[in-house]
Amino acid sequence: MDFFIVMTSIIDMSLDGLEIKFIKILRMLRALRPLRFLSSNVELKLLVNALISSLGGLFNVLIVLLVVFLIYSIVGVSLYSGKFFYCSDDMYQLHTQQECEFAGGKWNVWDHNFDNAIRGLISLYVVSSLEGWPDIMLQAIDITDVDQGPK
């Protein structure tokens, strides 16, 4: 392993001025250098083996989580489909697409919506990751009816 890492480093240094995709792959292989430590450390090897053997159980949990998200996404589609629209000009004054386009605005839909199950899954992921949930919450508070702007 050491010989391979040294040889790839020498090849990388000798072809320094060239932009070859193969050389970039060789540079990425240098990240495997810490794996040498696994062969000498028994406790770390045991920990990595336990982590690899738990991947099956983690995959089962992921499938169950995906099914639960899909159920809530379908509920979100049935409750909120077509309700996350707004006018780019003045969203709280122009409530319909005709009013918006007559005033010169553009009728848009928010990035995170429940118009279909995939968009609903993405919105639920954003909410569950706690990253952008306030935006989705404020948009959901302002919704009124299908194809109507926020109030």
For 15-53, write each residue's pLDDT tens digit: 776 676 766 676 676 676 676 666 677 787 888 889 889
Structure confidence at residue 69 as a pLDDT band (50, 70, 90): very high
Q: Which residues of 34-64 are buried (b: 16+ CB within 10 A; e: fewer)?
A: eeeeeeeeeeeeeeeeeeeeeeeeeeeeeee
Token pair of 78 as six digits: 């049935």
Q: Is 112 helix (H, G, I), strand (E, B) or coil?
A: coil
Share of the chain above pLDDT 90, in %: 23
How high is the pLDDT of residue 23?
66
Residues in CB range of 56: below 8 A, 6 or more apart: none
Rounded Cα distance between 83 and 136, Å, is 12
Whole-angstrom distance, CA of residue 54 vs CA of residue 37: 22
With bands split at pLDDT 50, 70 and 90, how would you rate the model's confidence at 58?
Answer: very high
What are the domain boundaries of the chain?
2-53, 68-142
> Above 90 in pLDDT, residue 136?
no
pLDDT score at 1? 63
